[in-house]
Amino acid sequence: MRENNTNNLEFNSELNNEKGNKKYNKKAYKPRKENNNGEKVVNTKKIIKNDKDENKVVKSRKGNGSILDLPTFKKSNLKIIALGGLDEIGKNITIFEYEDEIVLVDCGLEFPDDDMLGVDIVIPDVTYLVRNKNKIKGLFVTHGHEDHIGAIPYILKQVTMPIYTTRLTAKLIEHKLEEHRLLRTTELNIVEQGQTINVGKISVEFIRSSHSIPDACMLAIHTPAGVVVHTGDFKVDYTPIDGQIIDFARLAELGTNGVLALLSDSTNSERKGYTLSEKSIGPVFDSLFEGCKKRIVVATFASNVHRVQQIVNSAVKFGRKIAVSGRSMINMINSARELNYIDAPDNLFIDIDNIKNYTDEQLVIMTTGSQGETMSALTRMAHGEHRKVNLTGNDLVIISATPIPGNEKSVSRVINQLMKIGCEVVYSSLADVHVSGHACQEEQKLILSLVKPKYFLPVHGEFRQLMAHRETAIEMGIDKNNVFITSNGRVLEVNENEAKFTTSVPSGKVMVDGLGVGDVGSVVLRDRQHLSQDGLIVIVMSMDGQTGEFVSGPDVISRGFVYVRESENLMEDVKSFIKEEIDSMVERHIRDWSTIKSTLKDDVRDFIFNKTKRNPMILPIIMEV
């Protein structure tokens, strides 16, 4: 995909508008307001439409932190159902169902596997939600990463529901809704950290968390059956860029009062120790920028706003301007600047078209493509296909990310290509230019010790990661019979006395290819795989509709099988074989089209395999004249 000049111009104007023209201050976050008693004052803003139910939003804290004015109900089992995010990376979505009420946590996408040819993204199967759409009270979103918000527009086309989340996450969702023309018809509510939303028998409390994107939250789901804590993605960072540390006091308070179940991020559950603080990256950037005479290109995740802030800090410190390439990076920085989550001096950001007006040592180019994506800005730069940026031996390229599982080869190819054109490349194997946004074992232990759940469900990870998290929980004293390794679609019913698996609901992968949602399945993927491996042979013939005799053909068309000009003898042999088969069927008075097609397909496939040891797809076409 080529870059759009309009996007770049829009980016430049937005970043340097009145909201952006402020004195540079490393503290990019505004302090929270407090009342005379020192309590936080929190408000909910409905940015799409107002909700007339005044009882829907309640404060979660007063004095000792108890939940106020929540109604009491006769206790039933709470159902916990993951429709995605288990034994996979991505597609996170979890159902919490109590009697006739359902709340959802997150609704993300997954990137396709290598064998999903032509598939753009993968989203969860929400058949169960469609069947129970009248029960759904709301979607509660923990943070703004694609694996937690990317499927929202696709699901809203099947099921309507209000959405509740924090400011930056809401802004990112708003962009998606606008792109899919759903903004006017969707209720999108901004919630402050520390606030509780009451939707009936279920209330959901937003708890301040720490991750690689601002405004991340854990959720405490209050039900008559008990309290369930969902960590979302988290790490324990005592020196976060935004100064927002996990609300340990609230987690401890919940743990003291009693938590029925904990669902916790398992991404780094195999790693011992602690995840490094995001702030540890700052000095590394400074050391790379200091004294560097080359132009600096930094590739990172567009959503890692804290990383972007540190790149901004180093650019300011060493007198460099920043140009941005990649639509997702441009959109993210625009949104973060608008909400005051990135702090930068006046006119720091320049349009990518204007980089020619600056020397190499005056520039930083911030770009997408840290995962080696085929059409990303960095990949196009590496192959000389970028319209605005031409990389040379006078460029230092910093890849500030580690490959997501499955992307290792793609990232390696890009690094090799960058080196072939003479760039100096720094990546995680050579310098500490990346830290994870997910908790390692000691951090997971801390959350377990604070929350003290009766039941524990490792989530957000592949099976081996879920199992490692299970062992950590048992080590922390949780009864092994109360630790549940579940799978997508499996229903776990819990109450204060027992937890058990009962049944399963539809779950799986829905593939999105262009504008088509769900019209690509296993059969289509198998055909695409077949075509990609051995190609296609099309056999075209004409048949007299009255006599049943073949009047022309066969014509044989090959695509992706052999180069016809160099394999004329083989193609002539194929034609001769087809003619013999047709003559044989005529002699046997076989005139049924489906029989003729099936016979030709099988016999020609066997003939070609014996000749070439290849197995192309055979497609017979018979036209009636």
Domain residue ranges of the chain, discontinuous segments joined by +: 5-22+278-426, 51-274+437-492, 521-624
Overall fold of domain 5-22+278-426: Rossmann fold (3.40.50)
Judge whether 316 and 385 are in contact, CB under 8 Å.
no
Question: Is the model's pLDDT at 287 over the cut of 80?
Answer: yes
Predicted local confidence at residue 13, as pLDDT: 37
By percentage, how much of the chain surpasses pLDDT 70?
80
State mean pLDDT over 455-483. 97
Question: Is the model's pLDDT at 384 over the cut of 90?
Answer: yes
Walk across the sheet containing 217-223 and list its strands: 57-59, 195-198, 203-208, 217-223, 226-230, 259-265, 453-459
Predicted local confidence at residue 541, as pLDDT: 78
> Using the 8-state DSSP alphabet, how is residue 28 labeled?
-
Over residues 77-112, the pLDDT tens digits come to 999 999 999 999 899 999 999 999 999 999 999 887
Identical fold, 5-22+278-426 and 51-274+437-492: no
Predicted local confidence at residue 12, as pLDDT: 39
Predicted local confidence at residue 11, as pLDDT: 38
Least confidently predicted of 17-21, 412-416, 550-554: 17-21
Helix, strand, coil % in the chain, rounded to nearest 5 = 30, 25, 45
* Higher-confidence position of 71 and 453: 453
In CATH, what number does 51-274+437-492 get? Answer: 3.60.15.10
Mean pLDDT over the full length of the chain: 83
Residue 152's identity, in one-letter code, is I
Enumerate residues 6+ apart whose C-beta is below 8 A from 199. 56, 101, 103, 137, 138
Overall fold of domain 521-624: Ubiquitin-like (UB roll) (3.10.20)
Residue positions annotated with a catalytic role: 265, 438
* Higher-confidence position of 66 and 329: 329
State mean pLDDT over 111-134. 80
- ω before 124 within 30° of 0 (cis)? no
Predicted local confidence at residue 561, as pLDDT: 73
**Most confident range, picked from 104-108, 334-338, 534-538:** 104-108
Over residues 154-181, the pLDDT tens digits come to 999 999 999 999 999 999 999 999 988 9
By percentage, how much of the chain surpasses pLDDT 90?
61
Predicted local confidence at residue 531, as pLDDT: 58
242 vs 247: CA distance, rounded Å? 14
Enumerate residues 6+ apart whose C-beta is below 8 A from 570. 562, 611, 612
For 516, other C-beta atoms within 10 Å of its C-beta total 12
State mean pLDDT over 406-412. 86
Q: What is residue 404's three-state secondary structure? A: coil
